[in-house]
Amino acid sequence: MFRKTAFPTLLAICLMAISIHLKAQSYNTLWIPDTLSGTNFNLTIKDTFSQLTPGNQTITAGINGKIWGPTLFFNKGDTVHMNVHNKLNEATTLHWHGFHLPAVMDGGPHQMIPAGTTWQPYWKVTNNAATYWYHPHLHEMTEEQITKGIGGLIIVRDAVESALPLPRTYGVDDIPLVLTDRDFNTQKQFVVVPYGDSMMTNGTLRAEYGVPGQIVRFRILNGAIERSYNIGFSDNRNFSIICSDGGLLNAPVSVNRYLLHAGERVEILVDFSGQTGQSFDLKAYNSTLTGFIPGGENFVNGPFGNYLGHKDFNMLHINVVAKTQNPITAIPAVLTNNILLNATDADITRVLTISDSTGVTNPPILGPNAFIINHKLFNIDYNQYQVPLGNTEIWEIRSTSGFGHPFHIHDVEFNILSINGAAPPAAQAGWKDVVFIPRQQTVKFIAKFEDYADVLHPFMYHCHISLHEDEGMMGQFVVTDPSSATLEPIKRSNDIILFPNPASERLFVSFADPNMEAYYLRITNALGKTMYMLPRPQLAGGIDISHFSPGTYFVQVTDEKTKKVVSKKFTKV
């Protein structure tokens, strides 16, 4: 019996091995997010599972689904009402990235949605036609909640864009591409790290898609935690950039590479006419990036180690299929006529600094690895600027940091005036809400703050690398009506400063407020189990955490005088 079946069994095993091998090489069809349109939007955020790899369930979170969320269509001029249900087991926020709206509707760190509750912001859409997005923004939880998959695209339509002969059949010749990368552990679960080993396009690993043999529009979002993608096609073809973060460019800009940073969007037109039956790859040509651009570093090990660093890799395998009924076959020469802001109209120039934390004393930063704005960490109770309503302002971002950072501001779309003294490239000479600040360079942009004065509710500006943002590379401002403004009192901060974070050996704990003193310090794991109870701890030498297993932990401190308990998250690697 054994002898008789031995050969066929062996053959079956061989065939199985071959088919598993073939499967590992094969593509998955690009997932196209569902759409919602109208003026009332129901969004339910919850934890769930997704099958991302054969036979495995990955814990994810999604909006109205298993990962990511629906693409929302807004019409400029409409008032949109959002019903955001937080069915997670923790608080979150939902930020409408790029939208000009009242600060209290913005979904930044201040608009917290506790678990099990519903948040209902609404606003009049005044943004230009372009591609925007929504994502969690809870301070210190942004990286983790975006990693789980929470977010979605927003497509705004307006009269100018609608009048142009552009591809706009969603999922057919107008294709959304959300670029990100993820790290999977051996159980095929997401790991919260800045750089993943696996490219995911619209949440799809090794994505492929059929596009018609005509002019196709891709709406591309860099939704990564940290990585920039140097976009290009495997045949080195040129493509036309038609839209930046906040609106159409005056005219298409033809390039064969475009470097897209975290938070940025770009809409491109690609001509596949006469190429039906052929295949191409949309790739990230990241081997050409320097180590000072996110994704250009070549770290093999450690918290930043990943397989995709400083490499070229596929983002979408494209199969050109038959033309559609009424294909777009020409790229319009003119798109719009942007009236950009004029530097001579500026009321003020604000100089912001970006730097590395070494040597910073206010508050004391104990590790060498944080990046900071204006020499301080984010403090949710402190408004750095009061912007008078109606001001036109130049923001001059001077970086001494050894690394480049994508800088994002809420409330406004801006025009870049200069990057290291030079005019911005044509593809960035329109409306933007994220601008990359190359290492040790200065970038100037101009914006107008024309409405929504509110002394109580600030807007954010920050690095759009979620890791840096969570670590405190963020600040806030209020828009004030000079006719009624009163200075907001600066409240006492309860902020705990943890360094390094992620940490592996020793964790240094200090406090933003010099009057704060730890009466009791507790470290709990993600399940709430107490790992350490330290009465009146001596914190100068740090806390030994070398024996903790990797994961998320919380430091809970009871203040000596007030007996108030504050806590802060850190990651053990």
Q: Which is nearer to Cu ion, 219 or 405 (CB)?
A: 405
Whether the CB-CB separation of 117 and 36 falls below 8 Å is answered with: no
410 binds ligand C2O (CB under 6 A): yes
The one of ligand C2O, Cu ion, none whose footprint includes residue 405, by CB under 5 to 8 A per kind, is Cu ion
Judge if the upstream peptide bond of residue 500 is cis by omega within 30 degrees of 0.
yes
465 binds Cu ion (CB under 5 A): yes
Pull the structure tokens for residue 556. 């809970």
Q: Which is nearer to ligand C2O, 200 or 460 (CB)?
A: 460
- Binders of ligand C2O in range 252-291 (CB under 6 A): 263
148 binds ligand C2O (CB under 6 A): no
> Taking the complex as a whole, how short is the minimal distance between the CB of residue 282 and Cu ion, in angstroms?
26
Whether the CB-CB separation of 409 and 223 falls below 8 Å is answered with: no
User: How many CA atoms, within 13 angstroms, populate the side-chain half-sphere of residue 383?
Assistant: 18
Pull the structure tokens for residue 331. 């790229």
> Taking the complex as a whole, how short is the minimal distance between the CB of residue 97 and ligand C2O, in angstroms?
4
> How many angstroms separate the CA atoms of 556 and 544, rounded?
16
> Taking the complex as a whole, how short is the minimal distance between the CB of residue 460 and ligand C2O, in angstroms?
5
Q: Which is nearer to ligand C2O, 95 or 572 (CB)?
A: 95
97 binds Cu ion (CB under 5 A): yes
Question: Which residue sits closest to ligand C2O, CB atoms considered?
Answer: 97
Count of residues touching Cu ion (by CB under 5 A): 7
> Taking the complex as a whole, how short is the minimal distance between the CB of residue 56 and Cu ion, in angstroms?
32
Q: Classify residue 525 by burial, with Cβ atoms within 10 Å: 0-12, 13-18, 19+.
A: middle
Q: Which stretch binds ligand C2O (CB under 6 A): 172-180, 315-323, 459-467, 534-542?
A: 459-467
137 binds ligand C2O (CB under 6 A): yes
The one of Cu ion, ligand C2O, none whose footprint includes residue 148, by CB under 5 to 8 A per kind, is none
Mapped to the 3 state alphabet, what secondary structure does 507-560 carry?
EEEEECCCCCCEEEEEEEECCCCEEEEEECCCCCCCEECCCCCCEEEEEEEEEC
Residues 6+ apart with CB under 8 A from 14: none
> Taking the complex as a whole, how short is the minimal distance between the CB of residue 95 and ligand C2O, in angstroms?
5
408 binds ligand C2O (CB under 6 A): yes
> Taking the complex as a whole, how short is the minimal distance between the CB of residue 447 and ligand C2O, in angstroms?
15
**Strand pairing report for 207-212 and 215-222:** unpaired
Helix, strand or coil, per DSSP, at residue 437: strand
> Taking the complex as a whole, how short is the minimal distance between the CB of residue 261 and ligand C2O, in angstroms?
12
Q: Classify residue 71 by burial, with Cβ atoms within 10 Å: 0-12, 13-18, 19+.
A: buried
- Binders of Cu ion in range 366-385 (CB under 5 A): 371
> Taking the complex as a whole, how short is the minimal distance between the CB of residue 336 and ligand C2O, in angstroms?
24
**Strand pairing report for 474-480 and 385-388:** parallel
Residue found by looking up tokens 């009269």 in the block: 159
Mapped to the 3 state alphabet, what secondary structure does 251-264 carry?
EEEEECCEEECCCC
Whether the CB-CB separation of 360 and 400 falls below 8 Å is answered with: no
Helix, strand or coil, per DSSP, at residue 175: strand
Q: Which is nearer to ligand C2O, 30 or 138 (CB)?
A: 138
Q: Which is nearer to ligand C2O, 85 or 135 (CB)?
A: 135
**Backbone region of residue 305 per phi and psi (left: phi > 0; alpha: psi in -120 to 50; beta: other values):** beta
Quick one: which of 135, 265, 283, 468 contacts Cu ion (CB under 5 A)? 468
Q: Which is nearer to Cu ion, 233 or 436 (CB)?
A: 436
Q: Which is nearer to ligand C2O, 157 or 464 (CB)?
A: 464
What Å distances lie between residue 384 and 77, 350, 351, 381, 479, CA to CA?
A: 32, 11, 12, 10, 11
What string marks each residue from 134 to 173 as x (binds Cu ion by CB under 5 A) or -?
A: ----------------------------------------
Q: Which is nearer to Cu ion, 410 or 444 (CB)?
A: 410
Q: Which stretch binds ligand C2O (CB under 6 A): 172-180, 333-341, 460-468, 521-529?
A: 460-468
Paired residues of 98 in beta bridges: none
DSSP string, 262-279: TT-EEEEEEE-TT-TT-E
The one of Cu ion, ligand C2O, none whose footprint includes residue 468, by CB under 5 to 8 A per kind, is Cu ion
Count of residues touching ligand C2O (by CB under 6 A): 10
The one of Cu ion, ligand C2O, none whose footprint includes residue 157, by CB under 5 to 8 A per kind, is none
Q: Could you tell me which of 172, 174, 141, 176 has the C-alpha nearest to residue 68?
A: 176
Give, as one character, the DSSP assignment of residue 414. B
- Binders of ligand C2O in range 73-102 (CB under 6 A): 95, 97
The one of Cu ion, ligand C2O, none whose footprint includes residue 223, by CB under 5 to 8 A per kind, is none
Q: Which is nearer to ligand C2O, 462 or 572 (CB)?
A: 462
135 binds ligand C2O (CB under 6 A): yes
Q: Could you tell me which of 194, 202, 210 has the C-alpha nearest to residue 323?
A: 210
Residue found by looking up tokens 């493509």 in the block: 239
What string marks each residue from 39 to 78 as x (binds Cu ion by CB under 5 A) or -?
A: ----------------------------------------
> Taking the complex as a whole, how short is the minimal distance between the CB of residue 106 and ligand C2O, in angstroms?
8
Binding residues for ligand C2O, rule: CB under 6 A, are: 95, 97, 135, 137, 263, 408, 410, 460, 462, 464
Footprint on this chain of Cu ion (rule: CB under 5 A): 97, 371, 405, 410, 463, 465, 468
